[in-house]
Structure 1
Amino acid sequence: MAAGLQRDPIVILRMNGEDLNEFADSSTYETEAVAIFSQVESGNASLRQCLSAALRHLTVDHGMPPASDSLVVETVIEPALQELSSADQLDRPASQEAFFQEFRKYLGIIARRLQERPVIVAHSENTFDGAGVRKILSNKSEFDKLLDSLWGDVPKEHKDRTSKKYLWVAFDRMAASVNLPPYGAVDQVDAVVNEAFKMANADDGKPVDEAEFKKLLTEILGAVMLQLDGNVIAVSSNTVLHEPMSTPSSLLSPSPPSPMVSSPSE
């Protein structure tokens, strides 16, 4: 996914348990814990299953490194779970009260282990709000040049016409020019693009000439812009750095802009 995202600066975070402790002791813990339990509890799920699933609902904003990373699992999550309680208690069906109490204890143990062995996380965020589309649409000369270039690159059939299927190719080629990810990189943006193509009736594969080709691309971009105006899409990426890093600071300076590294994120 990350290969096509905008190259934003990567912030290096040192997860040392401090933020996680603050969350567990905060006034918002109870509300968030109840909300998380309602999402992870299903039927006869055990307390162990609920606690493990709950960690995936926490992010670096809570002070939790990616819970799916092998280093985090092996050195933090599994040892903390073993320390938390006896197997008999963890394998019982989870109640909200038990989850509420044990989850707070679990986070405290994880925070302590992070204090003993901090985890370094590369964090980056991207926001897709339609501003890049609006900018290109407002500059007619630049937009016309872009459309000319896209039309010049698509295969032509007889009588200088091309199939509508090449609208997808053209849209993907201009994604970087309008600050959008390539199709397939971000599911939420893909859904917006799919809807825009549907609204423009641009997905039936019929042949179009140059004027209609450019008109359809303009309509699709306009539809994408309007949808993103009302529903901004934010995407974050978090990657655990397995090389040791020693620093007293909890937040290091951003690195130079570089491609984001893909990793599961919440």
Structure 2
Amino acid sequence: MSTSNGSAASSFIIVQGSDICLPDASLPDRLSSGVVTGSQVIDAAESRVRQFTHGYALPEGIRSSALRRFGVSDFERFQEEEIEKDVVAKKVEEYVSAIADELEDDPLVLSILDGRELRLYLEDEDDFAMLAENLFTELDTEDTGKIKRSSMSKSLDHLGVDMGVPPASDFSQVNDILAKHGADGDDELGQAQFAQVLQSILQEVADSLAENPVVTNTNLKIFNGSKIRKILCNEKQLTDIAEKMLAANPEGLGSLESARKFLETNGAEFGVPPLDIDETTSLYDAVFAAVGITLKSDPKKGKENFSETVKDILEKFAEQLQVDPLLLPREN
């Protein structure tokens, strides 16, 4: 699997829709009596899903999409809505199914942070010295050669998940570790002092994570061909995509060049990675070389054959991504 976010994190958990199931069909006691609201239905369903996401709550983007699949267009209103007793269980299952469908199209990529990434830097004097120097330079915004000790917490924010440091919201121990090293103080540190304190803090963070690893969201999107394979099973969707390609570039009717140009800009909608890094450039080159067909210039002829050409292109993308999935930063 290729990662292209500069992340040092090495352990990923991919949660797909097929991982979500309902082994226990019983409802929580609080839903067995009294008035049940839409908010309670949502909480019950998401609580079940957290069994399969290692306790991690769904990111808001995935959650919003799942709610739309579930048929909720006005979230605030649905939260207050009273649900009939005899359909509560069905509603919970429907929302879980909607979440599973969303995760099938857009799997959740989590990272296990257990201190290994930090120890790699701590064990290499040169790497750590460079890391500390770069952090100090970033924090010394006024270029005084001094920073306040209270800036130590900002240094962890700068490192972030990419360097194996969980966000404070997922790692409550970090506040105790910072307090132990006086990170709330106003005294000033030079670069050497900063590096020394940083090393001690990172060592404790690494030790704490080794004992209790943290699962956190990577904010990465995986392209593994699953969404493309669903499209390939739907002739109408294939036809619609071909028509969109033709409409987007009428001057290049039915050509591979026009298809590539369209996918480079709009491919993410269909599960094709956006063209913005070396890995995806190589992928596009390989796919279009494999297709190896340039449609004839006759517009009518091009339209008649173009759907099959689009299918061939998407099949090649799906094959390549199944063998070597790509992890790319999720657009905000």
TM-score if structure 1 supplies the norm length?
A: 0.59
Matches within 5 A, 1:70-109: 70-76=64-70, 90-91=83-84, 102-103=88-89, 105-106=90-91
Distance 1:42 1:4 in 2: 48
SS in 2 for 1:172: helix
Q: Decide whether the 8 Å contact of 2:14 with 2:107 is kept in 1.
A: yes
Structure 1 residues not aligned, in runs of 5+: 80-86, 93-97
- Matched residues in 1 for 2:176 and 2:157: separation? 15
- Counterpart of 1:126 in structure 2 is 111
For 2:36, which of 46, 49, 52 is the aligned residue?
A: 46
Alpha-carbon displacement from aligned partner over 1:46-88 (angstroms, at most 9, x marks no partner): 265533321122328769x989745533443569xxxxxxx99
How big is the shift at 1:247? 4.9
Pairs within 5 Å for 1:1-266? 13=16, 15=17, 23-24=21-22, 26=23, 29=24, 33=26, 37=28, 44-46=34-36, 49-59=39-49, 69-76=63-70, 90-91=83-84, 102-103=88-89, 105-106=90-91, 120-153=105-138, 154=140, 155=142, 157=144, 161-175=146-160, 178-180=163-165, 185=167, 187-189=169-171, 191-236=172-217, 245-247=230-232, 253=322, 255-260=325-330
Secondary structure at 2:133's aligned position in 1?
helix
The range that moved more, 201-210 or 146-155, is 146-155
Unaligned runs of 5+ in 2: 74-80, 234-317
Go from structure 1 to structure 2 and tell me whether the alpha carbon gap of 1:186 and 1:136 turns closer, same or farther (over 3 Å shift).
same
When residues 73 and 205 of structure 1 are mapped into structure 2, their CA distance, relative to the original with a 3 A threshold, is same
**What are the superposed Cα offsets for residues 200-237 of structure 1, whole Å, 9 maximum, x if unpaired?**
11221211233322211111111211211121111246
> What's the RMSD between the two structures over aligned residues?
4.9
Distance, in Å, in 1 between the alignment partners of 2:104 and 2:116 is: 35
Aligned residues: 221
Percent identity, please. Answer: 14
Q: Which letter does structure 2 place at the counterpart of 1:207?
A: E
C-alpha distance 73-228 of structure 1, shift in aligned 2 (>3 A): same
- Work out which structure has the larger RCO, using CA pairs closer than 8 Å and 6 or more positions apart in sequence: 1
TM-score calculated relative to the size of structure 2: 0.49
Which is richer in helix?
2
Aligned residue in 2 for 1:83: none
